[in-house]
Structure 1
Amino acid sequence: MLLSQRRRLFLFTQMAAVGLALVACNEQSAQKKAGADAKPEVSAVTLHPQSVTITAEVPGRTAASLIAEVRPQVGGIIRARNFREGSEVNAGDVLYEIDPSAYQAAFDSAVAGLQRAEGAVPSAQAKVDRYQGLTSQSVVSKQDLDDALSTLAQARADVASAKAALETARINLDYTRIRAPISGRIDASSVTVGALVTAEQTTALATINQLDPINVDATQSSANLLAVRRAISEGRIKIVGNNVSVNLRLEDGSKYPLPGTFEFSTAAVSQTLGTVTARATFPNPDRLLLPGMYVRATIEEGIAPNSFLVPQRAVTRDAKGQPLALFVSSDGKVQRRTLSVQRSVGNSWLVAEGITDGDRVIVEGLQRVRDGQDVKVDDVVIDDATGQINQAADTSAAPVKEAANTPVSK
């Protein structure tokens, strides 16, 4: 009796253990099946062709558009200084006054000399007229007439010489008032009132810098210049218009509010640095830019039509350093592609080949997927300025837009 109860208890225990094992197996199978059926979620950006503005950000220095060194053209004692150092002056303003006493006397003497020379002309002319009438009557010899004509010519030459001397005296007298040759900001004066200056001395009295407009001399490597010209010749970049726009970023990282105009680039490459210098001109009404400031100039090189901007966060590199990206096909599968990256534009890579309109590139979840895997896609957009990911409102018909003027990292 007792043995029969023990057998039934043993059989019940074995059946319960088998049942629990079956339940556990079923749960594991269900979990594996659920895991196999679940698709990993990724975020993707839909790409559309754009006309991308190609720019180059290069270092540069500001320089005054005009520089004039003020020097005396006559010697003398400085009697007055008529400007405030560091102020703005206009062309023609009297900056210094030299004691004009000696030059005024020379001018007055030249005036008297002209009057004396002009006084001799009427007498010589009358003598010539009289001798011409008497010569026809054989009263005066022809030699006397020739002497009278020579005297008249000499008198007229004396008048011309006196006029030239008077003009020279007037110029020297005017030079005693030293004027500003250009408009601009004048620096410190090297002389004070009472100082003796000489004509065309080597030391400038002051220097005037014209700051509006102001020049920016930027340097660019010759290799980058060749790359741009090759892209233009191959049709990958198109030049639009003759006025090339240039923008500045200042030393503190702020953007200069006024755009400039590209003027020219040098025709020779620096033998020591391998660079080419380009000059741009910027309006500077507030005198914010001063000569010698370090800036970064963004120069428009052209337009790349029908190009794609792939977010940099979507691009990785393989063992050979080739850029790779994962795309989502129309049937929801992951596709691995090797890209031909030309350059960076803001927070994106410029790609001209290998992408078609409407392709979706994965920007989040790259580590959770592999080539050929089915995925669930969440459409997003990326802010070009900050690189931040935002939810896409409607990616079914994204318009073709003109790319913003963004710096280029080369």
Structure 2
Amino acid sequence: MVVTTQAVEIPTELAGRTAAFETSDVRPQVSGVIRARLFEEGALVRQGQTLYQIDPSVYQATAAQAAANLASAQAVHAAAAAKAARYRPLAQMQAISKQDYTDAAAISRQTAAAIAQNRAIVEAARINLRFTRVPAPISGRIGRSLVTTGGLVTASQANALTTIQRLDPMFVDIQQSSSALLDLRQRVGGGQGKIPGAAQVALLLEDGSRYAYTGTLQFAEPMVDQNTGTVTLRARFPNPQGLLLPGMYVRARIVQSAVPNGILVPQTAVARDAQGNGTVF
């Protein structure tokens, strides 16, 4: 048997949980009664797709009133501006007092400001009217509806109307003990190995089968959970068939380090003594 040195990867198997790539709780931004639910529960929805229709009648009336107030302000300003324009040459000829012209000019500026205020009110009314159509914030698979047609919803309510999750790709949050991570970093720092440039992650599902796609380690949190003494590592996996669902228990096999000059021998060529020390023969 010829023994040679080669780079030897050191894998680690850790427990983890799957998590959605994106999650959005859908909430209303205005208050009102739900008139229609415009999606099928469990279906794929697109970003911007209308999910619920809130009764718009009150907001339509408010927008119409705001538009009428704007038109009235514009009419008042037109009259005030015309009066100020007529007073200006008269004040220059001293046919009227300068105070009369100053008052007319001030009223003209006030009515111009009133137009700006009413335009802002019109825009706010239009925004609220648009909010009566509740859109999907993200694309993904939508869950069950937690409100029915005829239900009353309020702006910024705590309870979500429904939840949308993007399931391709998927995250896997992996827990590693801080002691194991510290040991790894000490070994790497001591020259006993090196960290691969882009760590690949293999996944074992709950039934023991291996997931068909390989993931990539994204990052490790820079802090230790005080309750569990673990550090969370996050990996990203493609999920085109939708096999992975949020909350699944999995086991991740990660190559976190590699020994550049390792020696591999067949398992049958290693004998161990009573103390567990290995001997190659």
- Give the TM-score normalised by structure 2: 0.94
The alignment partner of 1:113 has SS state of helix
State whether structure 2 residue 234 is matched by structure 1 residue 279.
yes
**Counterpart residue identity of residue 245, structure 2:** L
Over the matched positions of the two proteins, sequence identity in percent amounts to: 51
Partner of 2:61: 105
State whether structure 2 residue 265 is matched by structure 1 residue 325.
no
- Give the TM-score normalised by structure 1: 0.66
CA offsets 1:92-138 (integer angstroms, 9 cap, x no match): 11000011111111111111111111222222222222222122111
| Aligned counterpart for 2:224 among listed residues 269, 280, 283 | 269
Gaps of 5+ in 1: 1-44, 328-410
Partner of 1:310: 265
Residues of 2 paired with 1:167 and 1:183: CA distance? 28
State whether structure 2 residue 104 is matched by structure 1 residue 131.
no
Partner of 2:170: 214
Write out aligned runs for 1:133-148 (5 A): 133-148=89-104
CA offsets 1:321-378 (integer angstroms, 9 cap, x no match): 3x22242xxxxxxxxxxxxxxxxxxxxxxxxxxxxxxxxxxxxxxxxxxxxxxxxxxx
Write out aligned runs for 1:165-204 (5 A): 165-204=121-160
CA offsets 1:69-89 (integer angstroms, 9 cap, x no match): 111121211111111111111
The alignment partner of 1:83 has SS state of coil
Residues of 2 paired with 1:155 and 1:125: CA distance? 9
Partner of 1:301: 256
**Counterpart residue identity of residue 278, structure 2:** L
Gaps of 5+ in 2: none
Partner of 1:25: none
State whether structure 2 residue 205 is matched by structure 1 residue 205.
no
Deviation at 1:247, TM superposition (A): 2.0
CA offsets 1:36-62 (integer angstroms, 9 cap, x no match): xxxxxxxxx432212122322111000
Residues of 2 paired with 1:288 and 1:117: CA distance? 61
Residues of 1 paired with 2:196 and 2:204: CA distance? 23
Deviation at 1:158, TM superposition (A): 1.0
Partner of 1:250: 205
The alignment partner of 1:117 has SS state of helix
**Counterpart residue identity of residue 280, structure 1:** A
Deviation at 1:173, TM superposition (A): 0.7
Partner of 2:195: 239
**Counterpart residue identity of residue 296, structure 1:** R
Q: Is the 8 A contact 2:196 2:255 kept in 1?
A: no
| Aligned counterpart for 2:40 among listed residues 62, 84, 94 | 84
CA offsets 1:211-232 (integer angstroms, 9 cap, x no match): 1121110011112111211121
Deviation at 1:315, TM superposition (A): 2.8
The alignment partner of 2:253 has SS state of strand
**Counterpart residue identity of residue 209, structure 1:** Q
Deviation at 1:292, TM superposition (A): 0.6
**Counterpart residue identity of residue 175, structure 2:** T
- Report which of the two structures shows the higher radius of gyration computed on alpha carbons: 1
State whether structure 2 residue 242 is matched by structure 1 residue 291.
no
Partner of 1:95: 51
The alignment partner of 1:300 has SS state of strand
Q: Which runs of 4+ in 1 moved over 4 A?
A: none
Deviation at 1:270, TM superposition (A): 2.4
Partner of 1:13: none
Residues of 2 paired with 1:95 and 1:245: CA distance? 39
* Closer, same or farther: CA 285–305 of 1 in aligned 2, 3 Å: same
Q: Is the 8 A contact 2:271 2:280 kept in 1?
A: no
Partner of 2:117: 161
Deviation at 1:151, TM superposition (A): 0.7
* Closer, same or farther: CA 310–270 of 1 in aligned 2, 3 Å: farther
Residues of 1 paired with 2:238 and 2:80: CA distance? 64
The alignment partner of 1:291 has SS state of coil
CA offsets 1:241-299 (integer angstroms, 9 cap, x no match): 3x332221111222222222222212222233321111111121221110011111122
| Aligned counterpart for 2:9 among listed residues 30, 44, 53 | 53
